[in-house]
Amino acid sequence: MLDFVFSNATKIIFGRGTEMKTGQEISRYGKKVLLHYGGGSIKKSGLYDRIVESLRKAGVEAIELGGVMPNPRLSLVREGIELCRKHGIGSILAVGGGSVIDSAKAIGIGVPYTGDVWDFYSTGRKVEEMLPLGVVLTIPAAGSESSGGSVITNEDGLYKRSANSVNMRPKFAIMNPELTFTLPPYQTAVGAVDIMSHVMERYFTNVKNVDFTDRLCEATLKTMIVNTPIVLKEPDNYEARAEIMWASTIAHNDLLGTGRIGDWATHGIEHELSAIYDIAHGGGLAIMWPAWMKYVYKHDIERFAQFACRVWNVEPDFRNPEKTALEGIESLKGFFLSLGIPVTLTGAGIPSDRFEEMARKATEKGPLGNFVRLKKEDVEKIYRLAL
C-alpha cells in the first residue's frame, strides 16, 4: 500500500425530501446563485418548483441557465461564466446528474480565472479556486457530486477532456433516492455501468498489499450487481435506489483509490467515442471494458482471476487461472448485456472508420493508463477488439 492523504469536505445530505433543504444550504454561500440544470425533466417532475420555492424561502435570488446536454459542451460553460460575471453571482447550484455537475464545476472554475476555462482541460493548468457549488443529485452515475473532477466536450475539434482538483469538490450534495424513480431504464443501466467503471479503474492496479481497498471495491461492485436488476424491474424500490445512489458517491469520492494507483485508460479510450458519436458515457464504457480487459489481462492474470472469483462468483480453476480470468471478463460482459446495453461497437451502430483518429487523440499527450501503458497502436487495437 502506498502513502496517501484522503480528504473529502463535501457534506452529504441523504434521504427522502432532502431537496427542501436546498435553500438553507446554498444560502450559506451568498444570496445570488446560478441555478444550472439540463432539459425539462426537473420541471415535469415538480423538482424545479420545489427547488425554486426552497430558494425563495431562504431569500436566495436565482439566475437560471438550463440546457446542459449529456457530454456537456464548452459553449454553454462559457455562457455560464459570462452570466455569473454579469450578475455578480457568488455560488452555483447544479440540479441534475453528472453532466450538469461537471458543467457547473467548469463554470465555477472559469469565473475567477482571467484566461480561457478550456486551459484547465487542455493544458492541465492547476485549479486555484472555484465558486462554491451545491448539488441536488437526480442521476446516480458520474459520482461528480463529491469528486474533484469534471469532464467537458469542446465542440471545436470534438475533444472531450477532464480537469481535476481538490478545489473542485462541491460544498454539499443533496441526495434523495426518490428523485431517481422516474429515470428511464436505459439511463439507469448506463449509470450503473458508469458507477462500476469508477470502481474498476481503481481496482486494476499494480500496487501490492491493498486487500482492504480491494474488498471495498468488490463490495461496491457486488452491490451494483444485486441492486441494478431490482430497480430495472421495480423503478420505485426506494431501498435498492438508495444502495445505488450511495454506491455512486463512494465509487468516485477517492476513498476506494486510497493507497493505490488506478488505471483510467478505459475512460480515456471511451471519451473519444462519446466526443465524436455522442454516445452515453456509460454506454461507451460497457463496450470498451471487455475489449480493454481482453487486451491486458495477461499482464496480471491473478488479479483478473481474483476479480472473477470475488466479484462474479466464478469457480476457481487452480490449474488454469487464465480460464478463471477469462470467465470473469465474460461474466462482466454478460451482466452489461442483461441490462440491455450493447457491448460491441457494431451493436451500438458505431463505424470503424475513425479508429486511427480516436487513438491518436486519446494518446496525444502520451500513453494511456497505469496498469498497462497503452500507446496509439495499442488503443487502435482495443477499438478493433470492441467491434
Find the length of the chain: 387
Contact indicator for 149, 164 with CB cutoff of 8 Å: yes
Q: What is the pLDDT of residues 138-162, one digit of tens each?
A: 999 999 999 999 999 999 999 999 9
Mean pLDDT of the 191-201 span: 98
Q: What is the pLDDT of residues 96-139, one digit of tens each?
A: 999 999 999 999 999 999 999 999 999 999 999 999 999 999 99
Q: Where are the domains of the chain?
A: 11-179, 185-385
Pick from 111, 133, 106: nearest CA to 122? 106
- Which grid cell is 149? 473532477
Spatial distance between the Cα atoms of 295 and 298, rounded to a whole number of angstroms: 8
Check whether domain 185-385 has CATH 1.20.1090.10, yes or no:
yes
Mean pLDDT of the 318-325 span: 97
Mean pLDDT of the 170-178 span: 98
Pick from 151, 162, 165, 36: nearest CA to 102? 151
Give yes or no for residue 91 having a pLDDT over 90. Answer: yes
Share of the chain above pLDDT 90, in %: 99
Residue 374 DSSP code: B
Predicted TM-score of the model (pTM): 0.96
Partner residues linked to 150 by β-bridges:
163
* Residue 84, amino acid: C
Determine how many CB atoms are found less than 10 A away from the CB of residue 58. Answer: 17
Give yes or no for residue 247 having a pLDDT over 90. Answer: yes
C-alpha distances in angstroms, 170 versus 18, 102, 108, 115, 384?
17, 10, 10, 23, 38
Predicted pLDDT of residue 21: 98
Mean pLDDT of the 188-205 span: 98
Mean pLDDT of the 38-58 span: 95
Residue whose entry in the numeric block shows the C-alpha cell 463496450: 287
Contact indicator for 210, 260 with CB cutoff of 8 Å: yes
Predicted pLDDT of residue 40: 83
User: What is 11-179's CATH topology?
Assistant: Rossmann fold (3.40.50)
Q: Is 11-179's fold the same as 185-385's? A: no
Pick from 13, 57, 64: nearest CA to 172? 13
- Which grid cell is 215? 474488498
Contact indicator for 18, 47 with CB cutoff of 8 Å: no
Q: What is the pLDDT of residues 357-376, one digit of tens each?
A: 999 999 999 999 999 999 99
Q: Number of C-alpha atoms within 13 angstroms, CB side, residue 73? A: 14
Spatial distance between the Cα atoms of 166 and 208, rounded to a whole number of angstroms: 26
Q: What is the three-class DSSP state of 313?
A: coil
